[in-house]
Amino acid sequence: MSTLLLLIGLAGIDTVQAVLDRTSAAVGDNVTLTVLVDGTQARDPKITRVPGLKFFGPRVSQVRQNINGVVTETVGFRYTVVPKKAGRYVIPPIAVRVGNKTQRSSPLELQVTGGESTDLPIRPFFAVAKIDNPNPYRSQQIVYSLQLYGELLNLTCKRFDLPKFDKFIVEDLGQERRYQTVKNGRRFSVVEIRKSLFPLEAGTFTLPATELTCNVTYPSTGGARSSPFDRLFSRGRTETKILRTEEITLQVKALPPAPADFSNIVGRVMVGASMDTRVIPAGSSVTQTLYVKSSGALRGLVPPAPTLANVKIYDDQPKLSFNDRGPELETVMRMNRAFVPTEPGTLEVPGFSVGYFDPDEGAYKRAVAPPTKLRVTPGAQGQDTKLVDGQGPAKSAPAPAPTVVPSGTVLAPMVSSAHLAVTAPPIWLVLLVGLLPPLLLVSRRLRHIRLPARSGSKRGPLRRILAPLEGGSGDADVVDKVIREVLARGGLENAGSGEIQSALEEQGVPPADRDAADRWLRWIESSRWGAHQGAPPGPASELGALLGRIDQRLGA
């Protein structure tokens, strides 16, 4: 190939060169078409459509080569060509616009042989579709698997359409599975998609082939021995491949004549029933849980409601769940049924049975859940109810015990009251009541917190404040003024005696000083408002010393 490039570079005759990596292939094979164009001004090649051949791409790369001082720049376009039919094909000249000129390559020939060219296990990638039972009964579950095998490569299939399973009920069987397996001594990575199919009719059916468009990424080889073409496209080669599975034919057998209790389930069946209690008072409800587990389709299955005297029965909606992690789909149906016995005594709650067809044994069978005995005790009048059923008692008859039924089973009646609960209070009222107390508390707290700050601004020489006491004045007004001035230095000028005591306590004033202060305050109060102005609690000098200590604490 390097020779080819050299020729292109030196001669400068053919500026467009198209090459197939082989001249013969089988249907479904991937043939690589490479178009090389000299210069960097090339636009995408125009490839004439060839019926029977499918083109994917291109991937574009550029390479610059310096050979004996001659520099060439080449643009490469790589296509994957997949033959759809056998025959001899001619790919017409490929036109490429280079600058202002249109250049054309030579035509190419490709011989395609019919059928898949290789045996599946020999190929490094292939797709297989299969079913686990080609001869099922009608309604019996079969598992359809689509498997993609890839050996030492990354296989991504972006587009594929599973066959239309027209005569089948189709359920997904789990998520896409990925695992590794060994075939003929070679290790393959496998991607598997599974579906559960339930044939709706007897007869012969063909599941059509599935065609998958996949990207295959080969690991990069690189190395000195790689050709210029490999160097051109050397980042882990990716090719588009079309994979096809084989058609699948299956013969669905009809079921033998069915008995009357056949519930249209074909497969293994387990049934069960449980009660949430065995002893209940009359008028109360007991819940029976019924369940059916089967590999067959359970949609539409509803256990028939029994008829019991003096018992009200309420059926819940059956609920289906699917277990899709096993080798086949398992469907579980659960249904709650409430029984409300109205008379005391012994009550036998019947079980239930499901008639089904066992495909392994080819015979009809019955799965039976046994009955359960309940003891019904006399019910209490006026017991709590979950729900009233809307049937009011007759006026002349004694009121029956309220009926209790499972919540969400029967529509409760309408009401005649427009309000069933308290209405919301006005927003301003909630805001007023909600915000005011905390704000008040906070403001009070802030007031205490602000004490040192406020006292700082009012602090001046204490001696000046205490000066009126130096003359030994026992006048209550003078003493009051002095005390107030000292307290004002702590922000307590307007506080009551109780608040002053609390504040002094908070500031760590000793009890003896607090008591002394209290005595002086009481003396001032009695002197100002009382009938008699008694003797002061102590000499003015003692008061001065006391106020000095208090001032020290307030200022701390």
Partner 1 sequence: MTFTVIFLTLVAQNDPDAFADANAAAENGDYATAVDRYEELLLASPQASGVWYNLGHAAYRAEQLGRSIAAFRTAAALAPRDPRIKNNLTLARKGVSPPVSPSVSNPILATLFFWHYSLSVGELGWLAIGCGGLFWTAAIVLRNRVGQIAGILGVLSLVLFFGSWTIRVLSPASIAVVNRDNAPVRTRTDRRSDVRFTVPEGAELRWREEVGTWIRVSHPDGQQGWIHRDDVFLLSL
Which residue ranges make up the site for partner 1 (CB under 8 A)? 317, 385-388, 407-427, 429-430, 432-438, 441
For residue 466, give the 3-state DSSP assignment. Answer: helix
Nearer to partner 1, 283 or 536 (CB): 283
CA distances from 422 to 385, 416, 425, 426 (A): 22, 16, 9, 12
Least Å distance between CB 413 and partner 1? 8
Q: How would you list the strands of the sheet with 87-91, edge to edge? A: 24-27, 108-116, 87-91
Least Å distance between CB 407 and partner 1? 5
CA-to-CA distance for 32 and 233, rounded, in angstroms? 12
Extract the tokens encoding 223: 């190395």
Least Å distance between CB 432 and partner 1? 8
Structure letter (DSSP) for residue 213 = E
CA-to-CA distance for 222 and 219, rounded, in angstroms? 9
CA-to-CA distance for 316 and 105, rounded, in angstroms? 75
Radius of gyration of the CA atoms of the chain, in A: 49
Least Å distance between CB 263 and partner 1? 22
For residue 462, give the 3-state DSSP assignment. Answer: helix
Which residue, 75, 94, 9, is CA-closest to 232? 75
Nearer to partner 1, 309 or 418 (CB): 418
Nearer to partner 1, 311 or 388 (CB): 388
Extract the tokens encoding 251: 């013969």
Nearer to partner 1, 224 or 414 (CB): 414
Least Å distance between CB 323 and partner 1? 18
Beta bridge partners of 352: 369
Least Å distance between CB 501 and partner 1? 14
Least Å distance between CB 493 and partner 1? 22
Nearer to partner 1, 100 or 423 (CB): 423
Extract the tokens encoding 31: 């043939």
Q: CB of 372 within 8 A of CB of 278?
A: yes
DSSP H or E stretch at residue 228: helix 228-232
DSSP symbols for 85-124: S-EEEEEPPPEEEETTEEEE---EEEEEEEEESS-GGGSS
Nearer to partner 1, 422 or 531 (CB): 422
Structure letter (DSSP) for residue 36 = E
Nearer to partner 1, 425 or 461 (CB): 425
Nearer to partner 1, 46 or 444 (CB): 444
Nearer to partner 1, 425 or 508 (CB): 425
CA-to-CA distance for 484 and 470, rounded, in angstroms? 17
Nearer to partner 1, 98 or 169 (CB): 169
User: Before 58, cis peptide (omega within 30)?
Assistant: yes
Nearer to partner 1, 71 or 420 (CB): 420
CA-to-CA distance for 473 and 480, rounded, in angstroms? 11
Nearer to partner 1, 437 or 508 (CB): 437
Least Å distance between CB 505 and partner 1? 15
Least Å distance between CB 495 and partner 1? 15
Extract the tokens encoding 216: 């295959």
Extract the tokens encoding 398: 């004694």
Extract the tokens encoding 418: 């427009």
Extract the tokens encoding 450: 């602000």
Least Å distance between CB 389 and partner 1? 11
CA dihedral angle for residue 164, residue 167, residue 169, residue 173, rounded to 10 degrees: -50
Least Å distance between CB 179 and partner 1? 28
